[in-house]
Structure 1
Amino acid sequence: MHGAFADAASWSGVIEELQSHGVPVIAPPNPLRGLASDAAYVASVASQIDGPVVLVGHSYGGALITVAGTTENVVGLVYVAAYALEEGESLGELQGRFPLSPLVSNLKQWTYPVPGGEPAVEVTIAEDAFPSVFAADVPVEVTKILAAAQRPLAAAAFEEKAPAAAWKTKPSWALVAGADNAINPEVERFGAKRAGATIVEIEGASHAVAVSQPKAVAELIRDAVRATG
């Protein structure tokens, strides 16, 4: 599950690697409209898959698999440069435990219509800051495309509290991006350790580690699939 400021295409390299090893993959779109509704969507997708499911979440997608992972046929969770929330915790609260990343000061606000209500706020990363914040280890020509194609996250998602934490009952794995400028790596480490995850850290990896190092990400996912299979 992709996170904010990206889409399912960001998993292309990882998907290719997994498929080459015979691992079936579904990379659904993340609505990016709110923690509860987005997690419900992920849970719905997972529940309609025949057989066991390993949920993989990047960035904000980690918060979603934390909640959606309580779905009965989910057997494992993989966090990729992601938030692993505790039950009753919000993204803002988890982030607030540590110094803020450069992402926070480089967000651009937009609004979008809400039926029957006032326009709501969504955010993207300022295009000039996108390469250094999101994808410092990705070629510049690629980051320009990623910046132009980024999908906004509803600002309210930062304040919603997770109603459940699936890692309490499901095994988890986590990849920490050592040079992440979107999520403080300390946030990733803290959440992963708290979840009891099997942790791999890639020194020098940016937030876009799935784009820059798809083989390493795919290998961690394959570890989870093998362990839960």
Structure 2
Amino acid sequence: MTTTRRTLLSGSAAVAAGALLGVPAAHAQPGSTGRPKPTVVLVHGAFADASGWNDVAARLIHDGYPVLAPANPLRSVSTDSAYLAGFLATISGPIVLAAHSYGGIVTTNAAAGNANVKALVYVAAFVPDAGETLLGLQTKYPGSRLSESALDFRPAGESVDGYIKKELFRGVFAGDLPKSTAELMWAGQRPADVRTLGEPSGAPAWKSIPSWYLAARDDQVLPVAAQRFMAQRAGAQVREIDASHVAMISQPAAAADLIRRAAR
């Protein structure tokens, strides 16, 4: 998104746009401290869509949090980050930004410079430093089963999209979900442009914004050793659970609890 466009979305224009999106301003429901509850923005990763956050969102909405789960375009780190940065600029008041998997690199870039983002939550997500890539972090430690051989490739304009193969999808991506659920997720998976794997990340927001991390010990996409490394480097408050890569789906209560902690 251009600087001009971001400027247009700032100030009163941002408040107006936020109202159109149903985002509360300063009169949001107060928490126990009497302060307005922050808006929780949930960002999905590759091979998935925002519905993966449904059970987490339901819990947070029940507790009175304003919740938004925008579509992540999955086209490139730079364009996806700019898209989310523009989206965040329409929200008035404090924000807790939570991400899964590839969504972590997007939120790490999109939150930079946004004073409303008070906390970053990563759920089995990438937490890159400047110049790092998804592929570099995914392969930094052994254990990932998401290799080139696990993907089907289909043309997408001038690029190529990757999809996890049907016979590998559950074991690689969602091993602790019922087979029937994993089959539906495979059928509706949203692919990422494969060029995102090698695109370097920008200046990380976690250097100035507090972070929390939910590490999935049974993750077959992003090894838990890599998750621990990134979380520790970012100074995140960490909780570990026995879960597959889609920890927010298999254990939504744990993910929602961590987000509540970040929102306090």
TM-score band, normalised by shorter chain: over 0.9
Q: Distance in 2 between matches of 1:124 and 1:190?
A: 27
2:65 alignment partner, one of 20, 23, 47:
23
Shift of 1:102: 0.8
Aligned to 1:145: 184
Q: Distance in 2 between matches of 1:12 and 1:97?
A: 31
1:162 alignment partner, one of 190, 201, 208:
201
Q: Distance in 2 between matches of 1:184 and 1:109?
A: 23
2:151 alignment partner, one of 107, 112, 115:
107
1:122 alignment partner, one of 147, 161, 164:
161
Shift of 1:67: 0.6
In the alignment, is residue 36 of structure 1 matched against residue 78 of structure 2? yes
Query: Could you say if the C-alpha distance between residues 100 and 156 of structure 1 is closer, same or farther in structure 2, counting changes exceeding 3 Å?
Result: farther
Pairs aligned (count): 220
Is contact 1:111-1:122 (8 Å) kept?
yes
Shift of 1:96: 3.0
Is contact 2:143-2:220 (8 Å) kept?
no
TM-score, length of structure 2 as denominator length: 0.81
Structure 1 vs Structure 2 CA RMSD: 0.9
Is contact 2:119-2:210 (8 Å) kept?
yes
Q: Distance in 2 between matches of 1:127 and 1:89?
A: 30
Is contact 1:90-1:161 (8 Å) kept?
yes
In the alignment, is residue 206 of structure 1 matched against residue 244 of structure 2? yes
Q: Distance in 1 between matches of 2:111 and 2:199?
A: 17
1:210 partner letter = M
- Stretches of structure 2 lacking an aligned partner (at least 5 in a row): 1-42
Shift of 1:27: 0.1
2:228 alignment partner, one of 165, 183, 189:
189
2:76 partner letter = G
What's the secondary structure of 1:143's corresponding residue?
helix
Shift of 1:95: 2.1
Shift of 1:89: 1.1
What's the secondary structure of 2:131's corresponding residue?
coil
Aligned to 2:139: 96
Aligned to 2:45: 3
What's the secondary structure of 1:102's corresponding residue?
coil
1:21 partner letter = D
What's the secondary structure of 1:216's corresponding residue?
helix
- Stretches of structure 1 lacking an aligned partner (at least 5 in a row): 114-118
Is contact 1:47-1:72 (8 Å) kept?
no
Is contact 2:84-2:107 (8 Å) kept?
yes
What's the secondary structure of 1:181's corresponding residue?
coil
What's the secondary structure of 2:119's corresponding residue?
strand
Higher alpha-carbon Rg: 2
Q: Structure 1 residue runs of 4+, over 6 Å off?
A: none
2:98 alignment partner, one of 36, 56, 59:
56
Shift of 1:3: 0.1
Deviates more, 1:166-175 or 1:92-101: 92-101
Give runs of aligned pairs for residues 53-92 of structure 1, distance below 5 A: 53-70=95-112, 71-92=114-135
The structure with higher relative contact order (CA 8 Å, sep 6+) is 1
What's the secondary structure of 1:75's corresponding residue?
strand
